[in-house]
Structure 1
Amino acid sequence: MIRFERDGEDLLVRDDIEDVSFRVDAGGAGRRATDADGFVFPVDSAVTVETDHLAFRKPVAVYVREDGSPVDSCPPGQCTAIDAGRYELEVSSAPMKLYLRLDGPFRIDSEGDRTRFEYDGTRTVRVGARSFHGRPAGTVTVPETPRGLMDAVSTFGSALATTSPERSFPTLRGHPPLVSFGDEREIPSFAAPPGTGVRIAVPEEWGAVYTVATLAYYLGATVVPGDAPAVTAAGTTHRLDGGGLAAETREFLEHVFLLDCVVRTEGFYDVDLHERRVVDERVDLDLGRLYDLPLDERLAAYVDVPTDDLSGLLDWHLTADVAPEPSSAELLPFVVNDLSAIRNPEAIPAAAERQEDSLGDFYRSEDEGGVGVDGDAFEDETVVTPEPVDTVGHVWVGDGYPVGASKPTVGSYRRRLDQPASESRVIDVQVVCNEDEMREETEQLYGFRDYLEFDIDIAFDLTCEQLRELLAAEHDFLHFVGHVDAEGMKCSDGYLDLHTLEGTGVKAFLLNACTSYTQGMELVRAGSIGGLVTTTDVGNIMATNAGRTMARLLDYGFDLHGVLDVVKKVHVVGGAYSVVGDAGVTLCQADSGAPTLVEIMTRNKPSEDRFEITHRVVPNRSYGAGSFFVDHFDEDGAYYLLGSRPPTLTIERENLQSTTKQKRTPLIIDHELQWSDELDFSKI
């Protein structure tokens, strides 16, 4: 549900489904509800305002259309003059789809730290919005066999809003239907396969069907039995067995997805896309012809484009290891909805070693003489080390506790979908420290953001009953500092075992203590969506530093996938942390929509005052793979794909400082995390 509220001078656009908001400076103008019809793109709700000025409190990209046809666009850092006419404007970088109906002439000024619409007098502006939210329309029931799973996966494409190249936008990819097993095959009409003419053949094996599920979803394909894995479309066949099914499937998914993102620039989004420039340099394609083809013929044309020619343009965002067994089917639609590259899990038992901190340091465990992985704490499950991934996120669907990855549950995914919106715009963070020696970690953790209000409460030395009461209450985030072992979470009068919880109101959490995995999983089972935990002992000094880093990354807008990825880059003990539950959960939205990260290696400096940098924008559920962004460091003003592999840019020291100082920005400098508002740039 989209609501429009007055908040001071601002029109506040609130999405109650996703629990996010966006501010429009409308000069305190009143608002009145209006018909949501009349917009080129669908909107959930709309209002009309009469105002003498309109602005956004951050730079955004604006796409201008007249009667549905592109007229112009204005990326951040530029100004654009629009002549007389009746226009519909699409605003990027909002946490919902936001559209404006506005008559010209007017001028869009997106230089500096705001985007403003400049015009004479008072104008009538219609503001419409649509939630990014996607939830499954229902459930399909199939026999508990690999062939039955094929039938279920064949329905996943029913959730696509379009079979055009625009389905590469996350807002046009709906959530696949849920899967259940039963004696009778039941495929409701809403889940009827889309009939694209695309088929994927794989052996009748659980693992093979799971591996191609995301590709089948994105292509709207029917999955059928076959000895040789292959994709068939419009009389063309592409084999998937040359280098292993998982690797071949991922490579083809990335290839098709990239080409769709490039080809769609021939449609509603005629923008200067960096990836299109590169594709034009490497291969000769008639993009206009490809845009007009039906999906199967377009896919057949993509097969003729050598994948090697376009490799390296995308950094895929998520890998999912899915155990080849029937129990994984319940989680599959959620994994596919996140557009995961799926593979069969391969792992080895985790090494039972401590992360040594410094001589004489103590661990966040009462047992200083034990091994790093406490077998008693994990009961019947073992800690495993999955095969490494080259993606930001890593999901583990199978037995064991994965080191450095996330282990979701169906309940955590469902709670993320059903999470009710809070009536309060205040983010409630509860910090608990039950050890005097660890109090340093509780200082200056959250609340660094403009336009976001944090209610931060710090509690010390809680009893078991006090901690139980705290966990039963509603909190956006819990940050626990202390000891955890096989008996539970240490309190001032003993241990609270979270197995005994009847429920919890904690949405997300960080349990920064030794081997906190099972207690974190119990918090998820009690009602949390997801949280950060450890799978080994961690030294106190390093745990304190890592805890403060994770808090600040959450405050900045990273989801748990992104937090874990950065912590592993900059902290020696980063590999000790994992995620339980849904790793896509966030504490708050990033100022720029999706969080950004600047990486600098000073040994590669071209000169004393020039640096080579990479600027990454990290996808999340609000801004998924396929979204656009403008790289403020790129002087050409080109658009980039979220999830693309950013080029290395050379930038002057002054430009680096002025650009990153506009908004508090994380920078990794020589493998050390710094924050732009605290950094002395003259010393880099």
Structure 2
Amino acid sequence: MIDGLSDGRVEFEVDGATLTVRDAIEGEELRLRTDVDPDLSPALPELFPSPIDRAVSFEAESLEIPEYASIVVRDVDGDHVARLDEPMDLPRGSYCIEVNGATKALIRVTDVEVSAAGAAGPDPVTLSFDRSRTVSVGGRSLHTRPEATITVPDDPAALTEAVSVLGSSMKEFTPERSWPTLRGYPPRIERGDSLDIPSPLTVPDTGVEVVVRPTYADVYRLSTLSYYLGARMTTGDAPAIRLDTGYEERLPTEGRALEERVIELFETWFFLDTLARTEGYVPSDRYAYEEVGPTLPFYPPNLTDRTMSERLMEYLEVDHETVNSYLPAWPTEAVLRPAPAAAELLSHLAHFLAPVRVRGRTDHLQPDESMAVATSPQPPTDPQDIERSGATTADGEPRSVMTPEREQMSGVPSPDTEPLRAGASALTPTAYENRLRRGVPERGSVAVALLIGDPERAQTVRASLSEPANLDGVGSLSVLAAPSPELVAETLSDSELDIAYCGAEVRSDVLDSVGGVDCASRSGEPTRDGAPALTVFEDSVDTAVGVDAIDRGGVSAVLADGRVSADRIRTLIGLLSAGYPVGTASQLATSDEGVDVRYAGDPATAVATDRGHATQLYACRPLSDDSFRVSVQSLVSTDVLSGGEFRMIKLFSDTKSTLVGTRIEAGVADTPHMLELHEEKSPVLRFPNDIVLWSDDLSAADLSEIAEAGQSDADSIASRDGPRCKD
């Protein structure tokens, strides 16, 4: 039996004593078992301390949770009580028990004593109540994909109506929406003959209006901000943001000045939301709060219950410079042509909170010309650049350091450039749709194949991938030496592969100049019916090669304009299989190879995930033969979104958190501590002249050698550059 409301994001179904919470968007189910056959009645979502999509109530004396990822006990106001990782008894009270699993469920029960059994192992958890009570169960879709598709004609005024409902995926519009799990994936946009907005989608009632001129350029530049604010987008004579307090924030009319002001406002408001949420659903204790909070003209948590317009009035008192050095990197920054076809990217870019700029011509476009390009502005930290600057803690140690290198964007890439500049990517909606369709494998199960034309080089590459140990993130690995054209075609169209590496010798022999697979299958027809999730092409600058792989079902492609050494191929595959985004992994692996890389698809794409955690890069600068100054950078990606938080590993005795996508000066570690750090599975260590994966060997002698080489390089640089002045 279904509860009769089966057109929503969450459905409830009863089969005997089993209550199934079904996530209609994800197609996933979470089961609960009761001591009686539950008789469901609707429950108010407002009963729960955090957003849910639907709720039901029934009478029960016990509840069993067979499968789950984590269970957290809160009081009915949402305050944390306990984590159910061991059996426990809860005194009489009113509780909201949060179950995270295939989807999210909240169990509310009041005026009750609770006994939790089975929480110490893999067995189901049983919640027993001291008497039969009314149990309310709420479900919230994980909402990691669009729930509907909006059709828009080639008319920017119609597009404003589509952008106005992108915020319908938001679970709420308090500062809590800065958590990625509360934003949801906006509905997709596709071009059509007329405007069609499916009836479940509505414009959020936030009291904020974004005004644009009826041009694609204006709509694109303000689309991400409009989504985040849940604003209605309307047309007018000049761009502006209107609040229901009566205030109007006028925006520049010149295009490039407009986009920079919009990005400044978005970054500032997003960051201030992350401070205002610190006493919210998931209380956090961040460095940035200690450092920025005292400089603000308001106490951030006091704004939580204010209206959107009232909060923005306060936020407008804060200059961008006040928060600039604490901002996280965004996974993606996009540059769109002011053409109708680029509209299909907007919902995907909004999901990743991507700032949008506009460049490029719109006349005489060819069908294969790119509608957009992107960069991923989170360049990895060079250990030699770690300085004792920026904000400090009370003991004088440096803390938050600006991660996004804004000067990197001083030369904004253009879709008109051929070939694209190094580090840029040809962006296509197909890549995002393929990602949603394919899913992302867990670290440890990544399938990899390498095509190397030269048998001797193939042997060297094969050895590098297995010595000193097999890469821990890889589930299956094959190195194909001197493959036939048929085998190349078969490999490059194998949708079961997560990573395919196409060596320069193979690429030049097998791929034609426009990127199609120029070889026949066994039937004699070109093989174009599939592709690995990621394909790496050596000796190529033509992004059409990568776009072709995406059109055949891939998610991303890397194009290196030369050959990569065997050791660096190991590094690249190791980083990718550990969950590093494609752009960052490529930069790290090729930075000292004299090889430039370009991409197709979002450069922040992750081809693997490590339990959903952010990947961490530990940049280590030698101070002496036995000590290193360590900086930690976490990375955002298409799977680890902006707004999440991370903590450094216990080695540094650190309890405070920071936003994902930022960098923190961790402190100084000696040789034993560095070896202990290396034993942790997640961190990757970057030294001035080397990158050490978890699968690599690292000894005290190695660290001594690294330190000696690093100090020698630092002395050489200092000698070349001359003495530095210090404050």
- Tell me, in whole angstroms, the C-alpha distance in 1 between the residues paired with 2:268 and 2:238: 20
Number of residue pairs matched by the alignment: 603
Residues 385, 182 of structure 1: alpha-carbon distance in 2 compared, 3 angstrom cutoff: closer
Letter in 1 for 2:356: I
Which residue does 1:260 correspond to in 2? 273
- Where relative contact order (Cα < 8 A, 6+ residues apart) is larger, the structure is 1
- Is contact 1:557–1:591 with CA below 8 Å preserved after alignment? no
SS at match of 1:191: coil
* 1:553 and 2:579 correspond: no
SS at match of 1:331: helix
Taking only aligned residues, the RMSD between alpha carbons, in angstroms, comes to 4.9
* 1:527 and 2:545 correspond: no
* 1:328 and 2:361 correspond: no
Shift of 1:486: 6.5
Shift of 1:646: 2.6
Shift of 1:660: 3.5
* 1:611 and 2:628 correspond: yes
SS at match of 1:249: helix
> For 1:302-346, what per-residue CA distance to the aligned partner results, in whole angstroms no more than 9, with x for missing partners?
112233222211132221111122221122221222110111247
- Tell me, in whole angstroms, the C-alpha distance in 2 between the residues paired with 1:669 and 1:100: 48
Letter in 1 for 2:335: D
Letter in 2 for 1:580: A
Shift of 1:270: 2.2
* 1:597 and 2:608 correspond: no
SS at match of 2:151: strand
- Tell me, in whole angstroms, the C-alpha distance in 1 between the residues paired with 2:258 and 2:208: 18
* 1:442 and 2:462 correspond: yes
> For 1:623-654, what per-residue CA distance to the aligned partner results, in whole angstroms no more than 9, with x for missing partners?
21111212225534012211234345344443
- Tell me, in whole angstroms, the C-alpha distance in 1 between the residues paired with 2:571 and 2:186: 35
Residues 40, 163 of structure 1: alpha-carbon distance in 2 compared, 3 angstrom cutoff: closer
- Is contact 1:132–1:171 with CA below 8 Å preserved after alignment? yes
- Tell me, in whole angstroms, the C-alpha distance in 2 between the residues paired with 1:264 and 1:385: 33
- Is contact 1:613–1:650 with CA below 8 Å preserved after alignment? yes
Letter in 2 for 1:310: V
- Tell me, in whole angstroms, the C-alpha distance in 2 between the residues paired with 1:428 and 1:573: 28
Which residue does 2:720 correspond to in 1? none
Which residue does 1:65 correspond to in 2? 74
Of residues 401, 421, 446, the one that matches 1:427 is 446
Which residue does 2:257 correspond to in 1? 244
Which residue does 2:239 correspond to in 1? 229
> For 1:591-650, what per-residue CA distance to the aligned partner results, in whole angstroms no more than 9, with x for missing partners?
571211011222xx3x65443222111112332111121222553401221123434534
- Tell me, in whole angstroms, the C-alpha distance in 2 between the residues paired with 1:206 and 1:379: 19
* 1:162 and 2:161 correspond: no
- Tell me, in whole angstroms, the C-alpha distance in 2 between the residues paired with 1:675 and 1:248: 40
- Is contact 2:171–2:182 with CA below 8 Å preserved after alignment? yes
Residues 592, 205 of structure 1: alpha-carbon distance in 2 compared, 3 angstrom cutoff: closer
> For 1:134-153, what per-residue CA distance to the aligned partner results, in whole angstroms no more than 9, with x for missing partners?
22232333342332322222
Which residue does 2:679 correspond to in 1? 661
Of residues 415, 437, 448, the one that matches 2:434 is 415
Which residue does 2:712 correspond to in 1? none
Residues 207, 424 of structure 1: alpha-carbon distance in 2 compared, 3 angstrom cutoff: closer
Which residue does 2:149 correspond to in 1? 139
- Is contact 2:678–2:698 with CA below 8 Å preserved after alignment? no
Shift of 1:181: 4.0
Residues 497, 245 of structure 1: alpha-carbon distance in 2 compared, 3 angstrom cutoff: farther
- Tell me, in whole angstroms, the C-alpha distance in 1 between the residues paired with 2:546 and 2:146: 27
SS at match of 1:552: helix
Of residues 643, 647, 652, the one that matches 2:661 is 643
- Is contact 2:208–2:309 with CA below 8 Å preserved after alignment? yes
Q: Unaligned stretches of 5+ in structure 1? A: 3-14, 21-30, 108-115, 348-377
Which residue does 1:205 correspond to in 2? 215
- Tell me, in whole angstroms, the C-alpha distance in 2 between the residues paired with 1:187 and 1:305: 37
* 1:496 and 2:509 correspond: no
- Tell me, in whole angstroms, the C-alpha distance in 1 between the residues paired with 2:652 and 2:251: 37
Shift of 1:438: 2.3
Higher Rg of the two aligned structures:
2
Residues 433, 426 of structure 1: alpha-carbon distance in 2 compared, 3 angstrom cutoff: same
Which residue does 1:372 correspond to in 2? none
Letter in 2 for 1:527: G
Q: 1:10-49, aligned counterparts within 5 Å?
A: 42=52, 48=64
Letter in 1 for 2:610: A
Residues 44, 532 of structure 1: alpha-carbon distance in 2 compared, 3 angstrom cutoff: farther
- Is contact 1:254–1:316 with CA below 8 Å preserved after alignment? no
Shift of 1:130: 7.0
Letter in 2 for 1:191: L
Residues 309, 410 of structure 1: alpha-carbon distance in 2 compared, 3 angstrom cutoff: closer
Of residues 618, 621, 632, the one that matches 2:638 is 621
Which residue does 1:339 correspond to in 2? 353
Residues 582, 316 of structure 1: alpha-carbon distance in 2 compared, 3 angstrom cutoff: closer
Residues 592, 174 of structure 1: alpha-carbon distance in 2 compared, 3 angstrom cutoff: closer
- Tell me, in whole angstroms, the C-alpha distance in 2 between the residues paired with 1:141 and 1:49: 41
- Is contact 1:44–1:131 with CA below 8 Å preserved after alignment? no
Letter in 1 for 2:252: D
Of residues 591, 601, 608, the one that matches 1:588 is 608
Question: TM-score normalized by structure 2?
Answer: 0.70
Letter in 2 for 1:639: S
Shift of 1:256: 0.8
> For 1:481-519, what per-residue CA distance to the aligned partner results, in whole angstroms no more than 9, with x for missing partners?
2425676349xxx96389933311523222234446433
Residues 43, 639 of structure 1: alpha-carbon distance in 2 compared, 3 angstrom cutoff: farther
Q: Which moved more, 1:305-314 or 1:668-677?
A: 668-677
Letter in 2 for 1:441: V
Q: 1:244-393, aligned counterparts within 5 Å?
A: 244-317=257-330, 318-345=332-359, 389=377
- Tell me, in whole angstroms, the C-alpha distance in 2 between the residues paired with 1:143 and 1:286: 45
Residues 16, 588 of structure 1: alpha-carbon distance in 2 compared, 3 angstrom cutoff: farther
SS at match of 1:553: helix
Shift of 1:415: 1.5
SS at match of 1:649: strand
- Tell me, in whole angstroms, the C-alpha distance in 2 between the residues paired with 1:252 and 1:631: 29
Residues 134, 657 of structure 1: alpha-carbon distance in 2 compared, 3 angstrom cutoff: same
- Tell me, in whole angstroms, the C-alpha distance in 2 between the residues paired with 1:654 and 1:465: 51
- Tell me, in whole angstroms, the C-alpha distance in 1 between the residues paired with 2:585 and 2:554: 18
- Is contact 1:316–1:643 with CA below 8 Å preserved after alignment? yes
Which residue does 1:361 correspond to in 2? none
SS at match of 1:663: coil
Which residue does 1:467 correspond to in 2? 488
- Is contact 2:375–2:423 with CA below 8 Å preserved after alignment? no
Q: Which moved more, 1:623-632 or 1:138-147?
A: 138-147
- Tell me, in whole angstroms, the C-alpha distance in 2 between the residues paired with 1:418 and 1:68: 37
Q: Which moved more, 1:636-645 or 1:235-244?
A: 235-244
Of residues 686, 691, 699, the one that matches 1:673 is 691
